[in-house]
């Protein structure tokens, strides 16, 4: 969040920063933004981008003028909104690393004022109660090619409108009987101007105002006015609201908010990422139809899901920062996200060894019952002067496990892992040569007979001979058996549902696989929520939900880059 304090946006500033820079340069006294989610679902990566943008802007310009970014829950539709979502939203924004200070608001805080604003519009002849049925309204709205026609109720008197609106709120009418509409222009080429509804009857209790209200304001009416009430200067939203902007301005104008002191709306394009879905509707289906366990299923692109998966907040922030802010239609390669993830994890995670698919190795020239505790650092010494952040001891015994895929009976070309007659290094331990395989009745390799070179203890041979392959391993006698969950992308198509009827047809059937792994002893101390690199495999997170004290339950956050896989493919 360092960057020159916004005096001049400078090179690489996005278009919104440039606009704000110009405003600040022209003497605007403050910058106020807001993040306005509707509490009817969990926040996802698309929201993260908006959060980083809005809160990031307040941070960026704080050196130039007083700034603030509010968190406003846009709770104007009690039918869908729940307090559970309010809590998760607050938690997610905080976890991402942002602070709304005193600026926690609810659109429902303004219901009283909003109602008064509506009454004012009626008094000014700028709003009326329409008593057409929803079907009639739809039919008289016209379409892209034909203008709408005026409602027969359009010219009701102010008194009648006031009376009806009051009785709507008094609960005298059923949902759908009447609606309050702004009186604008039924022939406008912008359909949002064709007398948009601004208040509807909803006999639903609200999570904060209870049963007080029987009419609730619509988005177009409530949003801009809430911005104005809060003193928001820059109201940032996504592109689909672009042609709502004239309406946003219309309400502010109609209610006398002076140009120059009122908020303005700016739009940027929403985030799309390959192999995932980021629409609230689709995420709801995944949860409610049971395709995932919950909103925080580690395969979900929700912030809660990604947190549980093992994403550090910095990875999300870096990703959003690099994704940029424009009005282009984009589909970002998920590789950008994965890169931000690995980059962050690589810099912070401890290393340890675990074997996902164990194959037994017997070190024949080691005595039965032999145990030697070898020291292994938690962090690789990448550079000179790198901090030594501790080490653990790993038991070396006669019977070990290595990764099944690290042995090949008939070695492929460029294979420098284990095969009969080949020598490899066991990381931190020694050089090891395989002499024979033991197979079961089915002909499957179940055990390798090997010998170690005692003059290579620690992994460095006395004669300095080169060994290309280094394998991870775990003692068969000291290793702990544990189920490890391997998550993969939720969808197998870059654009789920594209060209198909339903995005669910592209669900990846193997997005979750459980393996019975063997963990080195030090892994048993990993606290829930921590991510550790299992060397040569990837980053694994001790799940906050499934772990028990002293018995972490790991899942894969993301694998390491695997250039051998490419070589092997040819």
Residue 494 in the binding site for RNA (CB under 7 A)? no
Two tokens, residue 154: 């359009």
Residue with Cβ nearer RNA (162 or 202): 202
Q: Of the listed pieces 47-55, 153-161, 183-191, 502-510, which binds RNA according to CB under 7 A?
A: 183-191
**For 555-568, b where at least 16 C-beta lie within 10 A, e where not — what string?**
bbbbbeeeeeeeee
> Which one of residues 264, 398, 427, 555 is an interface residue with RNA (CB under 7 A)?
427
Residue with Cβ nearer RNA (30 or 393): 393
Residue with Cβ nearer RNA (144 or 444): 144
> Which one of residues 20, 48, 59, 325 is an interface residue with RNA (CB under 7 A)?
325
**Interaction with RNA in 240-299: which residues (CB under 7 A)?**
240-244, 269
Shortest distance, CB of residue 531 to RNA, whole angstroms? 13
Q: How far is CA 3 from CA 17, 142, 153, 365, 513, in A?
A: 11, 49, 56, 61, 43
* Cα–Cα nearest to 173, from 131, 137, 134, 136: 131
Please tell me which residue in 270, 357, 393, 404 is annotated as part of the active site.
Answer: 270
Q: Are strands 358-363 and 554-559 parallel, antiparallel or unpaired?
A: unpaired
The CA distance from 532 to 314, in Å, is 16
Find out whether 149 and 138 touch, Cβ atoms under 8 Å: no
Q: Would you tell me how many other CB atoms lie within 10 Å of the CB of residue 416?
A: 14
Shortest distance, CB of residue 301 to RNA, whole angstroms? 16
Query: Which residue(s) pair with 106 in the sheet?
Result: 73
> Which one of residues 3, 14, 209, 508 is an interface residue with RNA (CB under 7 A)?
14
Instruction: Convert residues 103-142 into a mask of x (bound to RNA by CB under 7 A) and - (unbound).
Output: -----------------------------xxx--xx--x-
Helix (H, G, I), strand (E, B) or coil at 436: strand
Count of residues touching RNA (by CB under 7 A): 92
Residue 335 in the binding site for RNA (CB under 7 A)? yes
Residue 175 in the binding site for RNA (CB under 7 A)? yes
Residue 76 in the binding site for RNA (CB under 7 A)? yes
Q: Is residue 280 flagged as an active site residue?
A: yes
Please tell me which residue in 194, 280, 299, 317 is annotated as part of the active site.
Answer: 280
The CA distance from 223 to 236, in Å, is 11
Instruction: Convert residues 386-425 into a mask of x (bound to RNA by CB under 7 A) and - (unbound).
Output: ----------------------------xxxx-------x
Annotate 195-208 with DSSP letters as a single string.
Answer: --EEEEE----BTT
Residue with Cβ nearer RNA (32 or 325): 325
> Which one of residues 62, 120, 167, 564 is an interface residue with RNA (CB under 7 A)?
564
Find out whether 180 and 199 touch, Cβ atoms under 8 Å: yes
Burial of 314 (0-12, 13-18, 19+ CB in 10 A): middle
Q: Is residue 417 flagged as an active site residue?
A: no
Find out whether 395 and 475 touch, Cβ atoms under 8 Å: yes
Residue 535 in the binding site for RNA (CB under 7 A)? yes
The CA distance from 249 to 80, in Å, is 27
> Residue 567: enclosing H or E segment and its boundaries?
helix 563-569
Residue with Cβ nearer RNA (20 or 325): 325
Residue 47 in the binding site for RNA (CB under 7 A)? no
Instruction: Convert residues 343-372 into a mask of x (bound to RNA by CB under 7 A) and - (unbound).
Output: x--x----x---------------------
* Cα–Cα nearest to 217, from 71, 106, 115: 115
Helix (H, G, I), strand (E, B) or coil at 46: helix
Q: Is residue 545 flagged as an active site residue?
A: no
Residue with Cβ nearer RNA (208 or 427): 427
Instruction: Convert residues 188-217 into a mask of x (bound to RNA by CB under 7 A) and - (unbound).
Output: -xxxx---xx--xxx-------------x-
Residue with Cβ nearer RNA (219 or 487): 219
Q: Of the listed pieces 71-79, 304-312, 360-368, 478-486, which binds RNA according to CB under 7 A?
A: 71-79
Backbone angles phi, psi at 300, to 5 degrees: -80, 145
Catalytic residues: 38, 270, 280
């Amino acid at each position: 969040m360092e960057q020159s304090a916004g005096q001049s946006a400078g090179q690489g500033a996005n278009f919104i920063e440039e606009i704000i820079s110009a405003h600040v340069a022209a003497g605007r006294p403050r910058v106020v933004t807001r993040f306005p989610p509707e509490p009817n679902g969990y926040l996802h990566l698309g929201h993260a981008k908006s959060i980083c943008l809005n809160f990031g802007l307040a941070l960026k310009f704080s050196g130039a003028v007083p700034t603030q970014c509010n968190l406003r829950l846009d709770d104007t539709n009690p039918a869908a909104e729940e307090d559970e979502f309010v809590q998760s939203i607050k938690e997610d924004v905080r976890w991402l690393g942002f602070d709304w200070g005193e600026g926690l608001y609810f659109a429902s805080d303004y219901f009283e004022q909003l109602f008064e604003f509506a009454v004012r519009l009626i008094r000014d002849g700028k709003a009326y109660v329409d008593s057409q049925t929803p079907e009639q309204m739809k039919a008289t709205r016209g379409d892209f090619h034909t203008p709408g026609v005026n409602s027969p109720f359009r010219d009701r008197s102010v008194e009648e409108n006031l009376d009806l609106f009051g009785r709507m709120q008094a609960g005298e009418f059923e949902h759908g009987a009447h609606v309050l509409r702004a009186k604008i222009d039924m022939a406008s080429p912008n359909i949002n101007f064709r007398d948009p509804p601004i208040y509807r009857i909803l006999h639903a209790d609200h999570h904060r105002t209870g049963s007080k209200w029987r009419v609730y304001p619509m988005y177009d009416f409530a949003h801009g006015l809430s911005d104005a009430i809060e003193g928001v200067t820059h109201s940032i939203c996504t592109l689909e609201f672009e042609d709502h902007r004239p309406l946003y301005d219309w309400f502010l104008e109609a209610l006398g908010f002076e140009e120059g002191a009122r908020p303005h709306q700016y739009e940027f394009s929403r985030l799309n990422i390959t192999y995932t879905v980021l629409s609230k509707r689709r995420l709801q289906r995944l949860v409610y139809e049971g395709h995932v366990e919950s909103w925080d299923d580690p395969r979900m692109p929700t912030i809660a899901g990604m947190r549980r998966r093992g994403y550090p907040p910095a990875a999300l922030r870096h990703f959003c920062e690099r994704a940029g802010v424009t009005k282009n239609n984009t589909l970002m390669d998920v590789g950008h996200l994965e890169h931000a993830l690995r980059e962050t994890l690589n810099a912070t995670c401890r290393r340890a060894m675990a074997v996902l698919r164990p194959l037994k190795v017997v070190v024949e020239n080691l005595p039965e019952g032999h145990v030697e505790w070898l020291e292994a650092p938690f962090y690789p010494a990448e550079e000179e002067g790198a901090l030594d952040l501790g080490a653990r001891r790993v038991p070396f015994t006669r019977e070990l496990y290595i990764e099944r895929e690290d042995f090949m009976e008939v070695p492929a070309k460029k294979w420098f892992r284990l095969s009969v007659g080949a020598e490899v290094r066991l990381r931190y331990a020694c050089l090891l040569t395989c002499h024979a395989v033991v197979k079961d009745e089915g002909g499957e390799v179940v055990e390798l007979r090997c010998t170690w070179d005692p003059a290579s203890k620690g992994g460095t041979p006395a004669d300095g001979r080169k060994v290309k392959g280094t394998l991870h391993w775990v003692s068969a006698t000291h290793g702990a058996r544990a189920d490890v969950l391997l998550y993969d992308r939720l969808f197998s198509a870059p654009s789920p549902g594209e060209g198909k009827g339903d995005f669910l047809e592209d669900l990846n059937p193997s997005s979750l696989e459980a393996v019975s792994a063997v963990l080195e002893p030090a892994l048993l101390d990993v606290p829930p929520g921590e991510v550790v690199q299992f060397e040569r495999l990837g980053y694994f997170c001790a799940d906050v939900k499934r772990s028990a004290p002293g018995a972490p339950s790991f899942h894969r956050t993301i694998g390491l880059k695997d250039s051998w896989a490419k070589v092997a493919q040819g």
